[in-house]
Structure 1
Amino acid sequence: MNVPWQGNNGGFGIADHPAYWPAKKKRDVRAAIALCDELVTEENLEYLYDLGYGTDPIVAVPAVTIHETQNALARTYGQWLATKMNWSLDSKIYQTKTINRDFNTDGWFRIVNEPAYYGKVEPGRPYIIADDVCAMGGTLASLRGYIETNGGKVLGMTVLASGSGKNVQISLVGDTFARLTTAWNGELIGAYPQEIGHELESVTEPEGQFLLRCPSYDGFRAGIDGARNGGD
């Protein structure tokens, strides 16, 4: 399934924006709104509008509850988008507060520490997922999986910024999966579910490309062990 994904940052580092850290770390909603106003393009708003046209989607955000985090950016973007589109903002699905992934961009750490979610999904309803940034797509993919496993339908995903500043392919493409199945003489396809807990088919395209850059099974084991034993 190829879920459309939209990024908005236009190729510059969002962390360099003066409003980013107040929004991300200080729960400054005005700063978060300023980022949304500046970064989200009309082109992407039109694309999302077309995705949701005639379906009345719910905007879902992969974030913990407000009292558990200082981060106002993701949830403010969700509210901002819902207001712009006259859509509903989800208030029933939340990310379980476990290990903080927000400021750790290490690929092994993010693969090992996938987010989990809880709360009620409205069966049969369409959803648009909104987040602040995309590193390897695991947070978005995990929320998509949670919503669809519980009867919802994800129409698309959107974030304020990605590392490349461009739209990102989230779902694993066939050629990447084929290369993963033969990596290290076929060792990866058996080792991955044993070590991570789910099948290789469920990784994102960025995660798949990251794994393919690992030269050997020993390197995979070292990366996984280091992520588990290296702290949060």
Structure 2
Amino acid sequence: MSSLAAQPPRVPWGDFPDVLIHANESAVKQHPAYKAAKSGHGDAAMALVADTMNLGQNAALQALMGARKPILVSAHAYEQEGVNAIPEIFADELSKTLGWPVDPSVLQVNVVAHTGADGFSRLARQAEFAGTVQAGCDYVMVDDFVGMGGTLANLRGHIETQGGRVLAAVCLTGKPHSAKLSPTQSRLQELRAKHGRQLEEWWIERFAHGFDALTESEARYLARTASFDLIRDRIAQSQQA
């Protein structure tokens, strides 16, 4: 199998809206239920979501969607301790609040161990998704955390390459600068100026997408890396690990 065929699909971002983040990292990660929720305990996840879900962000999401009633789909992530329960519970609570349907059939099918990983490890070990998508339907992605945004990028790629339309993303927490998923033109210009065509051609061969399907955080990370050789070597090391 070629490296192209093995890669999770992605699509260019266009004018995708910023992620709606509900709470700051400390409020979520220092919550007494966080560790249990992250390792798969549903009751702990419900307690965490109840204490940190932001009604103002729910209103902002509803305003963004207008009269549409998109399908909520969560990024079920495998962690070393178990299946992260937070995204699914968060999606269920959003469904109750907003009156939108939830589709639990789209699942992450590999273990990427992103929690605590560095940027190269996140770029090298990308989430893969499977599950039936309703072609022609609108979707909103739900996750517990947005860092570099790669998991959301790959979830969106899975949905859109099967005919769905992803309109927005919402996360319980994340880094404020990571809310922007669509890379700016100035960032893409910076990245191409830094590494030339060599990196993008290698990236397309290795990951089956160009720079316009990177997230803003991924593009920034690559632009701040010293050389193409360093990027190539660190990604290869992370994939082997």
Same structural fold, with TM-score higher than 0.5 when normalized by the shorter chain: yes
Distance 1:32 1:163 in 2: 20
1:196 match: 207
Task: Pick closer, same or farther for the CA change 1:224–1:85 going to 2, 3 Å.
Answer: same
Name the aligned partner's letter for residue 224 of structure 1: I
Aligned with 2:184 (options 173, 189, 193)? 173
Q: Look up the match of 1:38.
A: 51
Which residue in 1 is equivalent to 2:224? 213
Alpha-carbon contact 1:180-1:188 (below 8 Å) kept: no
Report if aligned partners of 2:120, 2:235 keep a CA contact under 8 Å in 1: yes
For residue 28 of structure 1, what is the amino acid of its counterpart?
H
Q: Runs of 5+ in structure 2 lacking a partner?
A: 1-13
Equivalent residue, structure 2, for 1:14? 28
The one-letter amino acid of 2:208's match is G
Partner residue, 1:132 = 144
Counterpart contact for 2:146–2:178, Cα < 8 Å:
no
Cα distance change on mapping 1:212 and 1:167 into 2, 3 Å? closer
Q: Where does structure 1 lack aligned partners over 5 or more consecutive residues? A: none
Secondary structure in 2 matching 1:151: coil
Matched pairs, number: 225
Deviation at 1:72, TM superposition (A): 1.0
Deviations 1:124-151 (A, max 9, x none): 1111110011120011111112111211
Once the two structures are TM-superposed, the CA of residue 10 in structure 1 deviates from its matched residue by: 2.9
The CA deviation at 1:216 is 0.9
Change (3 A) 1:64 1:211: closer
Cross-structure match for 1:86: 99
SS at match of 2:26: coil
Corresponding residue number in structure 1 for 2:171: 159
Q: C-alpha displacement at 1:178, in angstroms?
A: 1.2
**TM-score (norm: length of structure 2):** 0.86
In 2, Cα distance between equivalents of 1:180 and 1:13 = 34
Residue 52 and residue 109 in structure 1: after superposition, are their counterparts in 2 closer, same or farther (change >3 A)?
Answer: same
In structure 1, how many angstroms separate the alpha carbons of the residues matched to 2:77 and 2:146? 17
2:124 aligned with 1:112, yes or no?
yes
Aligned AA for 1:136?
M
2:65 aligned residue (44, 47, 52): 52
Root-mean-square deviation (Å):
2.0
Contact 1:2 1:170 in 2 (8 A): no
2:88 to 75, 78, 82: 75
In the alignment, which residue of structure 2 is the partner of 1:23? 37
Q: Deviations over 1:40-68 (max 9, x none)?
A: 21210101111233211110012169xx9
